[in-house]
Structure 1
Amino acid sequence: MTGPLLTTKMFVPRPKAGTLVRARVSDLLDQGVSTKLTLVAAQAGFGKTTALANWVHQRCAPGLVAWLSLDSGDTDPATFWTYVVTALSATNPDIGSGVLPLLEGAGRPTPAMLTELLNRLAELEHDVVLVLDDYHLADGPDIAEAVTFLLTHLPPQAHLVLSTRTDPSLPLSRLRARGELVEIRAADLRFTNAEATSYLHGAGVDLDPPEAAILESRTEGWAAALQLAVLSLQDRTDVADFLADFAGDDRFIVDYLVEEVLSRQPRDVREFLLRTSILERLTGPLCDAVTGHTGGGDTLQQLERENLFVIPLDARRQWYRYHHLFADVLRAHAATDPAGTPLATLHLRASAWYDADERPVPAVRHALSAGDPARAAALMETAMPRLLRDRQEATIVRWVDAVPADVVSSRPALAMGFIAGLMAHNDVSSVPARLDELDALLARLAAARAAEPVVLVEDPTEVPRLPGKVQLYRAAYALVTEDLDGTQRHVALATAAAAPDDHPTRAGAWGLSGLAHWRLGDIEATHQCYSRCVEELLQAGHLSDVLGCTTTLADIRITQGRLSDATRTLQRTLALTTTTTTTTTTEAVPRGTADMHAGLAGVALERGQLDDAESHLRRAQELGEAAGMPQHASQVRVTMALARAARGDVNEALTLLEEAERLYVPDFKPDVRPVHATRARLLIGQGRLDEARAWAATHQLRPDDELTYVREHEHITLATLLLAESRGGQAQHLDELRPFLARLHAASDAGGRHGTLVEIAVLEACAALAAGDHQEAGDHLRLALRLSGPERFTRPFTDHAGDLPRLVQLLTPEEQQSAWVGTLLAACTPEVPPTAQARVRPPRQDLVDPLSQRELEVLRLLATDLSGPELARHLVVSLNTVRTHTRNVYGKLGVSGRRAAVSRARELNLLSRQDE
């Protein structure tokens, strides 16, 4: 997010002296702690915030409540979640240290960020309550989707409380049906007769029973109306007349009472209230700037002492806000006050103060409210680079329609920023027209015609860079619309127009060119473009982007069968990170470092080096998902899954792939190895062919499809399925399989994808063997051996370990004796020493549902001092997978916690001394 966090939004409001303690409402809030969600929903003035604050201070243990007061500036997902995570960090700093880095550079919450947040909450050894006050001010589709995900997976020790004027866009019916929701509505918040009488008495207003009954009846237990009535009744002698005039609906009551309160204030206080009503949050210096007077801080404290609907937001009484209902009416009075300062003037003063305080978003908001789009545009333009860097495109998109077109047309840098925000937000419909307008403006600027309107640019050094950026975004638009020729054409224009030192534009152009080549399957050209992109990024000092591109460079080399080059690429870039830091904390490690280790693990798996692969995966886990790019959370689970499958634990691998598919974050890069296809391969290996057939049907895969590089991985998976079906007695599949493989062979060979070609050649050998064509089977095997040997490419052979011994028999005796063939045969027939078999012999279990071997392993580790993340690293799985095993262990042992599980295991003799 842009600008510092306003810490006062995360302070629990302190109850005012004399506030009525309403045990009835607090009891309802207590009930909510046993559920996922407590919804406190009522219109303004019903005392939602007061009831929650009283409950927190009176009934909640210190340090276990995270409070966040939301406002209209929190609709941006990045801002919202930064505040939420920071608020939760007050209950445990580990939450922020693990999750906040995942928000850096993300325009919206990623599945990885939300998963990490849930994981951190699940690790807490105490309950935590997150209170989101005034949630309706931030509610929107993006935030609702993420909050729904959070609620769905919320661990038992975490509870969410929402205070809102309107029902949120959340699955309330589902939560209600599952007993996971406690609702506190207006009827629950209304003051009863007894509470109203107690409140009036505590405020020094003692009415006769008939008068108190009239007041309670007219206000219908509405807290705001009662409070205003108290202010109006103080020192009044004509109580009967006042009550006689006090009638009407809610809005009339508030208007009437506020007018009564205002008319009884000294002129300077009344003026202060009206002028500062435009502010969402109040602090002394800001109020001084808006009112044009001094002493704003003292006035706020005085208003608080007099109970004039001023709510303190911090313990030091530095920041406040007005009660929302009170503020609404104040603003209405300020707008119609003939003697008051014009609202536009007040907003401009507020805008200037926020600008000086380096808070561009509220500065822009007040400039727009002042009706000064020119000032707002200038502020936007200044803030735009930082917003784009922090991936707050949603804020930019909200601004796009707020500035008149004629203002934008005179500000080329602002227009460029709007285009960048729209593209990054995938809102591309208006981009071509905006680019045309910007081109025309730049042409007029280049011609320097005196008759043209003045062109305004806040940073003059940005002007020479704009022509290159225009072409860059034309290239990006062409790529989005699958116009690959157009992409390359505009890339050439962008690089020609970009200044030699405009490294970000040049890097972007090379990256887009590489993506266009990638979609066409020309991976060598992709590698060349990405290499140029990396050179420019290094010049620009964008190390994390370099790490992100390196993942692509390594993947291409693996596809080409050049495993040594892939390793060198990853290691060389990994070495760059050591010049930045020598620590292992995620705060200091450049983002993308974990991806280098995941990439090295992938290379090791291709070579059958499982120990090396697991070592790199553990290092990636130690660094944490915050040290990875947005795709890391998904990709590292895919690599873990392949490692577990190589160890023979296919069920755990499938669980990891389910997580990976859920965490996948699409981006500009083509998804050439979709998780669902990798999952289908494991299903085929397990003989679950019906599920694999369903996969093929779902993704509309057929042997006669037109072949493209983007779907090559899926088509090879389909070929693997057809081969498995032919072994199951469906020989007809061989007739369509072999020509299908021949087409795949030709396509991968033409594209220089020799790593893929090894895989296809092994499949061709297996298919020919199944058809009894031994000569062709041997020829295909020889090709696979020749291509794989220099780089020790093992995985394509171990994927078909059952066929390899028979295939080897088709070779000449001399070929059979080669060292590489021997290595492959050993890899396909691993030996387990007898002593090892004895060690893993399962103990006798007196359980109705015995623990699996993996669950026994988890149980033994639970008896150690290893934490949850350490257990995951030891087992080379995700933390979610560990939790799944742990829940299963608890369920089978009939316990609810780690200590109880270990104790029960001892009773059943499931643990040895060595285990503990």
Structure 2
Amino acid sequence: MDNKVLKLATNNNLAPILLKTKMHIPKTRQTVISRPRLMQELDQGFKNKLTVITAPAGYGKSTLAGEWANKGDFPVAWVSLDYGDNDSLRFWNYVIASLEIVKPGISDRVQSTLRLVNQSPEVFITVLVNELCNVSHDFCLILDDYHAVKDDFVHNSLSLLIKYLPSCMHILISTRTKPPIPFSRFLIAGELIELTFRELRFTTYEISNLFKQKDVELNGEEIERLEFSTEGWPAGLQVIAYSLCHNKNKKGYMSILDMNNQHIVSYFAEEAFHMWPESIRGFLLQTSVLEQLTWELCEAVTGRKDGRYILNELVESSAFIIALDSEGNCFRYHHLFREFLYGYLLAEKKYNLLTLHRLAGEWYENNGDIPEAIDHFLKSNDYVKAAKLIQSKWAYLIQCKDMKTMSDMIEALPCAIVEENPELCLLHAWTLALSNSKSFFYSMEQAGKRLDKAEELCRGSNCKLSQEACSRLLGEIAMARAKISSPNIHEMLAHMRVADRHLPEGSSLVRSDVQINLGLPQLLRARYLQRRAGELQQAAACVQEMQKIIDRIGQGSLAGWSLEVNGELAYEFNDLEGANRLLLSSMREAEKTGEVGIVIPGMLNLARTSLARGMMDEAFELPEEAEKKAQEFSVLHWLPVIDSFKVRLALETGDAGYISRWEKENNLVIYDRLSEGIEYQLITLVRVLLFEGKLDRAMLLLSRLLDFAENEERILSTVEILNLQAIAYREQGKAEKAIESLERSLALGEKDGCLRIFIDEGRSMVKLLETLTKRQGEVIQSSEGKVSSSYVSKLLKLTKDFVLSTVSNSGEQDSQRPIKVLTERETEALRLLAEGLNNSEIARKMVVSVNTVKSHTANIYSKLMVKNRAQAIKRGRELGII
């Protein structure tokens, strides 16, 4: 296998294994029909950024690209793609490796940023482009069979590369279907050459040459009929030519040519197959279960000793096998021919399909390709063997295979096998939790169920593990629960204590260089303190004990986590300077250890603190940075939370356009299933509905959220929801109900000294508190308990001060100061600003130049006495202009 694989450096000790043959330019056969007109098109395309060859199967895309690449006097990086490349890391690993021919050493320099390619590939593409800009000569990257790629991450990252393509680089893509890449602007700019089936189909002249090469003499009428019936489809014509060269009966020609395309393919594929001796036909059928062919693998599957000879004979005699390397060691069947062979294998039932897959699996296992071995064992229904491989090679698989694929492998096993094996249940839980999919919370829920099953099996009377192995597994299960299942500090500590008892030598899972994200996006509420915000000292003690346990059984640090929680608490207690200091410290600690679960909430809490301190630029910049981090580290479950946070900022500035787009794109509805993971987004939706005046829908969702928060004892969430309910009741004119909800939230908040959760509601809270203070008495009684008038007075003062500070920071002036009246056109421009349009879009709407729009905007800022767009929109709403 050494001459067929390539290992690239990665962050792990184990490198991804790449097939060298996927990066070899196919050799040009002497029998290939010369197509100078297409060579000229490709030569012309090389002067531009991009060439795209789009045509159905059998139009000679790969053959054409390979011939052109072999004839060129410039370096060519080639990648033959397949359906296994639907993963951005795997795709770009191959591309980087292929580019070694252009720029030796590029793998080492680019590989460290490859993990950044998921979802947001800007950083990785920037590094890659900068490296390629230093190439002193023109070169081409050819991506063959790109239709096999369906992954949006790959499409997006490739689009970025094309957009910023260095002048020395050209890309050629061959594909059956047009990929979702914005080609139109390259076409308009004259930077794209596109070849389709219309250009690739054989001309009359090329058809004539093909049949002459096969020693088949056809007259002009027969060639015309053949061209008409096949529409110049090269693969069909190759089948016909191959069949006719063995048919010496001239009378049979016309009946062959009269068949329609579909029948031509099926008929002549079968005819070409049956012309081989029985021994070779058997070889073809047996090896049709393989995607790639080497003589050693073929001999293992067929039990023959002449695999090299047969492959060479097939290459020399057949149009349906393709060499994948220049040495002639690795091949594949033409896709259509393999489909025919596999269908024939299933129909004939001469060979046992399961046995063929089992033999292939054994060969791959013996040669170290574990993922391929598992795939074939699964196809052979040898689930026991597949399960044993997964169990014994889990560390290798976790580091060399993406988590989604690993999870799929386990899920392909029968439930009975998985649910009877505690180790498989545990591994499945880890792969689910580490998959970083957008269905994060569903995956976590399923992971929890697998852990429950694993523990049940370990503790059951029928457990076949030794007492020592069972104890160790219970420790690993407990550590998994602490790492991926529980957001509550006391529950996490309890699980870690169990793990500490059972794992005296440490956790192999935690020490396998698998990075775990401790943070769950229950954002902007001190995670440990959902039940009571006053347990800071107890929480700090818990964190210290957890750190000691981690030092003994695993790796990592909780210092950043502790600082982040203290920062959240400082914010809630209105110590904004302290919150800022603690949150910055937590992020510095987290960046040392790579804990994204601290960095992202830390950024958002910093943004919230900046907003409270009147630092608007920082408040808006930090969520953008958080989004980049989430995409960079592929923790996609944070993205909806970040989006919701940005919407809350938009609500502060009255950016109706942004708010409307978020509401449409997120597809949240008031009847969504409630969970901790979606609570923050749904509370944000409530705020949007209140902003839009949709009070009935807001009240319905608030009722559902309140029931959920109270049942789950989520105290701070309950306070926020009650505050919003009070605001909504007030908007509906239901003053008594508004005060009732406010009194409940105040009673809960006073018990724990909560401040910011009230202050952040701004003017609406001031009006509610002012109404409440008009009531008599030193103590207010609510269904949640008593509320002191001193607490209410303190909140009222702090909230008023906050409102006044935001007025000052936003450039708003005393209402008695005169505001110059906007002109009709300035008012129109302000309304378009509020819709979220940029200057160019406003110019098109108003049918004026961009400079005129800028002039209108400057006048608006001056007349409204504001400094930026957000302030202008907010001021315009307050004055009733928009």
Structure 2 partner of 1:364: 374
Separation of aligned partners in 2, 1:100 and 1:539:
32
Shift of 1:279: 1.5
Do the aligned residues in 1 keep the contact of 2:324 with 2:330 (CA within 8 Å)? yes
Is 2:293 the partner of 1:282?
A: yes
Structure 1 partner of 2:791: 783
Separation of aligned partners in 1, 2:80 and 2:205:
32
What SS does structure 2 have at the residue aligned with 1:829?
helix
What do residues 634-688 of structure 1 show as CA deviations (whole Å, max 9, x unaligned)?
Answer: 5556666667877x68468748966996899x9998258735645765897xxx5
Say if 1:769 and 1:533 are closer, same or farther in 2 by CA, change over 3 A.
same
Say if 1:612 and 1:41 are closer, same or farther in 2 by CA, change over 3 A.
closer
Shift of 1:831: 8.6
Separation of aligned partners in 2, 1:704 and 1:593:
29
Equivalent in 422, 425, 436 of residue 412 of structure 1: 422
* Partner AA of 1:101 in structure 2: R
Shift of 1:157: 9.7
Is 2:833 the partner of 1:829?
A: no
Say if 1:226 and 1:363 are closer, same or farther in 2 by CA, change over 3 A.
same
Structure 2 partner of 1:808: none
Separation of aligned partners in 2, 1:589 and 1:489:
18
Structure 2 partner of 1:69: 81
Between 1:149-158 and 1:409-418, the stretch displaced more is 149-158
What do residues 520-569 of structure 1 show as CA deviations (whole Å, max 9, x unaligned)?
Answer: 63456695667766665566666599868976664455345565665565
Shift of 1:362: 1.6
Structure 1 partner of 2:3: none
Separation of aligned partners in 1, 2:404 and 2:607:
36
Shift of 1:829: 2.5
Equivalent in 563, 568, 587 of residue 574 of structure 1: 587
Do the aligned residues in 1 keep the contact of 2:296 with 2:307 (CA within 8 Å)? yes
Structure 2 partner of 1:108: none
Is 2:768 the partner of 1:767?
A: yes
Separation of aligned partners in 2, 1:695 and 1:853:
27
Do the aligned residues in 2 keep the contact of 1:557 with 1:566 (CA within 8 Å)? yes
Is 2:708 the partner of 1:690?
A: no
What do residues 44-82 of structure 1 show as CA deviations (whole Å, max 9, x unaligned)?
Answer: x54375499589979x999999977332x45xxxx5343
What do residues 419-478 of structure 1 show as CA deviations (whole Å, max 9, x unaligned)?
Answer: 5556777477898699558734664566x6xxxxxx6x9xx9965432345567899999
Is 2:322 the partner of 1:311?
A: yes
* Partner AA of 2:751 in structure 1: A
The number of aligned residues is: 769
Structure 2 partner of 1:713: 720
Separation of aligned partners in 1, 2:505 and 2:576:
34
**TM-score, structure 2 length as denominator?**
0.62
Separation of aligned partners in 2, 1:633 and 1:153:
21
Say if 1:302 and 1:558 are closer, same or farther in 2 by CA, change over 3 A.
farther
Say if 1:122 and 1:407 are closer, same or farther in 2 by CA, change over 3 A.
same
Is 2:779 the partner of 1:800?
A: no
Separation of aligned partners in 2, 1:846 and 1:760:
34
Say if 1:169 and 1:549 are closer, same or farther in 2 by CA, change over 3 A.
farther
Equivalent in 355, 365, 372 of residue 365 of structure 2: 355
Do the aligned residues in 1 keep the contact of 2:726 with 2:741 (CA within 8 Å)? yes
Is 2:751 the partner of 1:750?
A: yes
Shift of 1:740: 1.2
Separation of aligned partners in 2, 1:848 and 1:758:
33
Shift of 1:885: 3.6
What SS does structure 1 have at the residue aligned with 2:332?
strand
Equivalent in 312, 317, 335 of residue 324 of structure 1: 335
Do the aligned residues in 2 keep the contact of 1:538 with 1:546 (CA within 8 Å)? no
Do the aligned residues in 2 keep the contact of 1:510 with 1:530 (CA within 8 Å)? no
Equivalent in 366, 378, 388 of residue 388 of structure 2: 378
Structure 1 partner of 2:739: 738
What do residues 786-806 of structure 1 show as CA deviations (whole Å, max 9, x unaligned)?
Answer: 6899xxxx7x556633xxxxx
Separation of aligned partners in 2, 1:122 and 1:643:
35
* Partner AA of 2:81 in structure 1: S
Is 2:17 the partner of 1:4?
A: yes
Structure 1 partner of 2:456: 439
Is 2:89 the partner of 1:101?
A: no
Is 2:647 the partner of 1:630?
A: no
Equivalent in 699, 702, 721 of residue 701 of structure 2: 699
Separation of aligned partners in 2, 1:348 and 1:600:
56
How big is the alpha-carbon RMSD for the aligned residues of Structure 1 and Structure 2? 7.1
Is 2:676 the partner of 1:670?
A: yes
Shift of 1:379: 1.7
Q: Identity of counterpart residues, as a percentage?
A: 19
Do the aligned residues in 2 keep the contact of 1:468 with 1:494 (CA within 8 Å)? yes
Do the aligned residues in 1 keep the contact of 2:451 with 2:477 (CA within 8 Å)? no
* Partner AA of 1:738 in structure 2: I
Do the aligned residues in 2 keep the contact of 1:86 with 1:96 (CA within 8 Å)? no
Do the aligned residues in 2 keep the contact of 1:15 with 1:54 (CA within 8 Å)? yes
Separation of aligned partners in 1, 2:564 and 2:673:
14
* Partner AA of 1:696 in structure 2: A
Q: Which aligned pairs between 1:162-561 and structure 2 lie closer than 5 A?
A: 196-197=207-208, 199-201=210-212, 205-209=216-220, 211-212=222-223, 223-234=234-245, 237-241=248-252, 254=265, 257-258=268-269, 260-262=271-273, 273-283=284-294, 286=297, 303-304=314-315, 306=317, 308-312=319-323, 320-331=331-342, 346-355=356-365, 358-384=368-394, 392=402, 394-400=404-410, 402-404=412-414, 407-408=417-418, 411-418=421-428, 420-421=430-431, 426=442, 439-440=456-457, 443-444=460-461, 463-468=470-475, 495=499, 498-500=502-504, 502=506, 521-522=531-532, 527=539, 554-555=567-568, 558-559=571-572, 561=574
Equivalent in 71, 80, 83 of residue 87 of structure 2: 80
Separation of aligned partners in 2, 1:848 and 1:61:
62
Separation of aligned partners in 1, 2:568 and 2:399:
27
Q: Mark the runs of 5 or more structure 1 residues left unpaired by the alignment.
A: 105-111, 171-182, 449-454, 581-587, 802-825, 835-840, 856-880, 911-916
Separation of aligned partners in 2, 1:393 and 1:761:
45
Shift of 1:744: 0.8
Separation of aligned partners in 1, 2:686 and 2:28:
59
Separation of aligned partners in 2, 1:788 and 1:288:
84
Structure 2 partner of 1:888: 841
* Partner AA of 1:745 in structure 2: L
Shift of 1:6: 4.8
Do the aligned residues in 2 keep the contact of 1:761 with 1:784 (CA within 8 Å)? no
What do residues 827-876 of structure 1 show as CA deviations (whole Å, max 9, x unaligned)?
Answer: 64349699xxxxxx9xx999999799999xxxxxxxxxxxxxxxxxxxxx
Shift of 1:741: 0.7
What SS does structure 1 have at the residue aligned with 2:693?
helix
Shift of 1:743: 0.5
What do residues 584-622 of structure 1 show as CA deviations (whole Å, max 9, x unaligned)?
Answer: xxxx99786465444434333334455665786787689
Shift of 1:712: 4.0
Structure 2 partner of 1:47: 59
What do residues 701-724 of structure 1 show as CA deviations (whole Å, max 9, x unaligned)?
Answer: 59997863345434423434555x
Shift of 1:742: 0.6
**TM-score, structure 1 length as denominator?**
0.61
What SS does structure 1 have at the residue aligned with 2:291?
coil
* Partner AA of 1:733 in structure 2: K
What SS does structure 2 have at the residue aligned with 1:277?
helix
* Partner AA of 1:281 in structure 2: Q
What do residues 291-311 of structure 1 show as CA deviations (whole Å, max 9, x unaligned)?
Answer: 678997897677556553233
Separation of aligned partners in 1, 2:158 and 2:526:
39
Say if 1:741 and 1:13 are closer, same or farther in 2 by CA, change over 3 A.
farther
Say if 1:902 and 1:13 are closer, same or farther in 2 by CA, change over 3 A.
farther
Between 1:369-378 and 1:770-779, the stretch displaced more is 770-779
Q: Mark the runs of 5 or more structure 2 residues left unpaired by the alignment.
A: 1-9, 134-139, 166-170, 182-193, 780-786, 814-819, 860-882
Say if 1:617 and 1:22 are closer, same or farther in 2 by CA, change over 3 A.
same
Separation of aligned partners in 2, 1:773 and 1:333:
88
Structure 2 partner of 1:603: 609
Separation of aligned partners in 2, 1:829 and 1:695:
34
Say if 1:343 and 1:695 are closer, same or farther in 2 by CA, change over 3 A.
closer
Say if 1:194 and 1:714 are closer, same or farther in 2 by CA, change over 3 A.
farther
Do the aligned residues in 1 keep the contact of 2:89 with 2:117 (CA within 8 Å)? yes
What SS does structure 2 have at the residue aligned with 1:47?
coil
